[in-house]
Amino acid sequence: MTSGPLPGVPAGATPLRLRGRTFGDGHPVVVAVVNRTPDSFYAPARHGAGTVDAAVDRAVEEGADVLDIGGVRAGRGPAVDEAEEIARVVPVVERVRTRHPDLLVSVDTWRSGVARAAADAGADLLNDTWAGHDPALVEVAAERGLGVVCSHTGGAAPRSDPLRVTYPAPAGTDPLDGVVADVVATLTAAAARAVALGVDPASVLVDATLDFGKTTWHSLHLLRRTPQVVAIGHPVLVAVSRKDVVGETLGLPPEERLEGTLAATAVAAWLGARVFRAHDVAATRRAVDMVAAIRAERAPAVALRGLL
């Protein structure tokens, strides 16, 4: 029952557009994680050939807008070459396209060869979590009319863990503001390159990429500085689900990090983030929809109390 921006409510990001569909205020975008990796850090997200279809069906039932399929663990582990990654990911993209034609599909990869194979199979979004390590990946997005996620890793190589990483802060600022400045500069440049190549600006997502090339202090600071990432002017993706920033903050293993994840997600949503990558789709869907209602961007499903 309100209209226009509310005092004290941070501005939201620009709308997200993928495959001709636009998600604006009132529809936070939930991205379901489905990993085709036997060694994902969160065991319930590991899906082999026998369980992946059920995982996809469940994500759809629980309200996912996008499915993010990964074929290589983000952290250290056994080597997975490009051919194996394609073998893990592309058949899932093809099956999703057949079984859930309206579901948007993202592929989590840093390799342009995998990106091209995924595009051929019907992917809509390339989630490059390693910050343009393969600069040709964004060219695939532009050539095929796909969306792309621009990320920040502080220059870290794929599948590496941070060690005593530092970001010099601008003079006279909070010592942790160095990571914010680096993230904003990196994402602004990466997004500009994607747009210059021909990617739709509303299909370019920016992700501060918590944990990657960062300490827990860095990731917490970036969450509270979400409005500065929003100000870049592209849809903001937040991928905090069950990550170490939650585990180290609360002293919990991955299987006990849901509440912390939802708290961080709600804060990011309040501060203007648009897209949320999640292992727990139903819980995340409810959390971000509630925040959207508090932000006066989404009406309650039912509003009868005190009226009857």
Phi–psi pair at 106, nearest 5 degrees: -115, 150
Quote the pLDDT of residue 49: 65
b/e map of 19-31 (b: 16 or more CB within 10 Å)? eeeebeeebbbbb
d(CA 229, CA 233): 8
179 alpha-carbon distance from chain centroid = 19
Q: What is the pLDDT along the chain (308 residues), one digit of tens a residue?
A: 555 567 778 877 689 999 999 999 899 999 999 998 887 787 677 777 678 899 999 999 999 999 999 999 998 889 999 999 999 999 999 999 999 999 999 999 999 999 999 999 999 999 999 999 999 999 999 999 999 999 999 999 999 999 999 999 989 999 999 999 999 999 999 999 999 999 999 999 999 999 999 999 999 999 999 999 999 999 999 999 999 999 999 999 999 999 999 999 999 999 999 999 999 999 999 999 999 999 999 999 999 999 99
- Would you call 16 exposed, middle or buried from its count of C-beta atoms within 10 A (0-12, 13-18, 19+)? buried
> Which of these, 192, 69, 79, 209, lies nearest to 138 by C-alpha position?
192
Q: Who contacts 60 (Cβ-Cβ below 8 Å, separation ≥6)?
A: 100, 103
Parallel, antiparallel, or unpaired: how do β-strands 16-18 and 21-23 relate?
antiparallel
Q: Of how many residues is the chain composed? A: 308
Quote the pLDDT of residue 14: 82
Structure tokens at 171: 């003079």
Q: Who contacts 202 (Cβ-Cβ below 8 Å, separation ≥6)?
A: 14, 15, 16, 17, 22, 234, 235
DSSP run (H or E) holding 16: strand 16-18
Q: Mapping DSSP to helix (H, G, I), strand (E, B) and coil, where does residue 206 land?
A: strand
Structure tokens at 167: 């970001």
What residue ranges define each of the domains in the chain, with the CATH number in brackets? Answer: 24-294 (3.20.20.20)
Quote the pLDDT of residue 38: 83
DSSP run (H or E) holding 180: helix 177-197
Q: Mapping DSSP to helix (H, G, I), strand (E, B) and coil, where does residue 8 land?
A: coil
The pTM assigned to this predicted structure is 0.94
